Amino acid sequence: MAAPDFPEDPAQFRACVREQLRREYAEFVAGRPAAEDPHGLALRRAWEDRLCAAGLAGLGWPRRYGGHELDLARQAIFHEEHAECGAPLGVNLIGHGILAPTLIHYGTEAQKQRFLPGILSNREIWCQGYSEPQAGSDLAAVRTRARRDGQGYVLNGHKIWTSFADQADWCFVLARTDPAQQRHRGLSFLLVNMRQPGVRVQPIRQITGDAEFCEVFFEDARVEAEALVGEENQGWKIAMSAASFERGTYFIPRLVKFRRELMWVRELLRERAGGLAAADGAELERRWARLAVDSHVLDLKSRRALAAAATGEPPGPQASSTKIHWSEAHQSLLDFAVELLGDRVCTGDAQRDPQAAELVRAYLSSRAETILAGTSEIQRNIIAERVLGLPKGVQP
C-alpha cells in the first residue's frame, strides 16, 4: 500500500493518526479470537504487519527508502497516539527502531537496498546480539569470534538475553574480529542470518510465563563479507551510536502505560478507601501523589530529551537519569498496585478480572526494567562520573 501523506501541522497530524490508528486497531481486534492473549507474540506480530501494510512504518526514514521523513515531534506524536489507542508494541521493534536507522546512517547502498524493504514490510524480523554470559554491563568484554574465511567470516560464540531471537530472521551481532586488539578496539558489527545451520536458539522462560528472550549459539555460522557494517574492528562506535537512535521516542509508550496504570491504581485506592482508618488513607494518598508527580516529571524529561534530539544535540547523561527514574518509579507504582489488589493478585485471571491480570503481569515484567538497556548501577556510575565528576570506579 502507498505511504499516506501526513499533515505538517502537529495538531492536524495528531488528529489524523489518532483517527487512523483507532480505526485500524478496532478493526484488527474485532477480527481476532476473543480469548487471545493480548501480549502474545502472534497478536503483536499480526498488528505490526498490519501497521506496515497500512504504510504506518518508516516514519523518520528518507522518502527514497519508502519512509515518511517525519520530524521527531511528529514521530513522538505517532508513538503517543499508538500507545493511547491501547495497541501493543510489535516484535520487530529492534529492526524498526535500531537497525534501520543504523543502516541508513552507516550502511552501504547495497545493504540499504537489501535490508530496508524487509523491515518496512515487516517481512524480516531482527534481534540484537550484544550481551554474552561474561559481557553484559561490560560489553567490551565480548568474546564471540568472527574469523576471516575466504570472502566472509565464520562466527562462533554464545549470546544471551537476545530479545525475539526465536522470531528473528536476522541478528546484528557485535563480534571480535581481531583478538589481538584490546577490548572495544577489535570488535565488528555484523548482520547474521538466523535461518542457517550453525545458529541455535534456546528461548528463556521468564517470570511472566513468556519467553521473549533467548540464548543464541553460533557454531561455525557463516557471515558474508557484505554483511559487515562500517569498517572491520570499528563496530564499537556503530553499536554505541545504534543505541542512541531511539532517543527521544523510547520512553513515550512506556510513559503512556505509566499514566494508564496510575489511573488504575487511583481506582483501586478509591475502592479501598472506605475500609481504612483516616491516617492510613492519607498515607496511601500521599504515596499515590508522589507517583503522580513522578509521572509528570518523567513526561517533562521525555519532552526535554525530544527537544534536545530535534536540535541534533548529542545524547548526554540525562538519558541515564530518565532511565533510572522511569524504571524505579514504575516498580514502585506496581508494588503499590499489587499491595492494593490483595487477593485479586492470585484470583484475577485475564478473562474474569483483566485489570488485575494486567497489573500483575506488569508487576512481574517490571523486574527486568532496572536491568535492560543498562542496569540502574551502571546508570548511576554514568551520572557519578559524567555529571558529578566523581573519579572512575575500578573495573570489575
Ligand X SMILES: Cc1cc2nc3c(=O)[nH]c(=O)nc-3n(C[C@H](O)[C@H](O)[C@H](O)COP(=O)(O)OP(=O)(O)OC[C@H]3O[C@@H](n4cnc5c(N)ncnc54)[C@H](O)[C@@H]3O)c2cc1C
Give me the residues that bind ligand X (CB under 6 A), please. 127-131, 136-137, 161-163, 213, 368, 371-372, 374-375, 377-378, 381, 393, 396
Instruction: For the CB of residue 66, give the shortest distance to ligand X in the complex, in Å.
Output: 25
Instruction: For the CB of residue 395, give the shortest distance to ligand X in the complex, in Å.
Output: 7
**What are 118's three cell numbers?**
524487509
**What are 68's three cell numbers?**
515518511
Question: Facing residues of 175 across strands?
Answer: 188
Instruction: Kindly report the length of the chain.
Output: 396
For residues 128 and 167, which CB has a smaller minimum distance to ligand X in the complex?
Answer: 128
For residues 108 and 137, which CB has a smaller minimum distance to ligand X in the complex?
Answer: 137
Determine the Cα–Cα distance for residues 62 and 104; give it in Å rounded to an integer: 8
Catalytic residue among 48, 124, 212, 246: 246
**What are 116's three cell numbers?**
530496508
* HEC-encoded secondary structure of 56-121: CCCCCCCHHHCCCCCCHHHHHHHHHHHHHCCCCCCCCHHHHHHHHHHHHHHCCHHHHHHHHHHHHC
Determine the Cα–Cα distance for residues 228 and 308; give it in Å rounded to an integer: 31
Q: What CA–CA distances, in Å, run from 340 to 63, 206, 274, 288?
A: 49, 24, 13, 11
Residue number with the shortest CB distance to ligand X?
136
CA dihedral 390, 391, 395, 396 (to 10 degrees): -60
Residue type, 43: L
Query: 130 and 239 in contact (C-beta within 8 Å)?
Result: yes
Opening angle at CA 331, ends 326 and 337, nearest 5: 125
Helix, strand, coil fractions of the chain, as percent rounded to 5: 55, 15, 35
DSSP code at position 355 = H
Determine the Cα–Cα distance for residues 148 and 228; give it in Å rounded to an integer: 11
Instruction: For the CB of residue 194, give the shortest distance to ligand X in the complex, in Å.
Output: 13
Instruction: For the CB of residue 374, give the shortest distance to ligand X in the complex, in Å.
Output: 6
For residues 173 and 341, which CB has a smaller minimum distance to ligand X in the complex?
Answer: 173
Instruction: For the CB of residue 214, give the shortest distance to ligand X in the complex, in Å.
Output: 9
Instruction: For the CB of residue 38, give the shortest distance to ligand X in the complex, in Å.
Output: 19
Task: Indicate if 246 belongs to the active site.
Answer: yes
Hey, which residues are catalytic here? 246
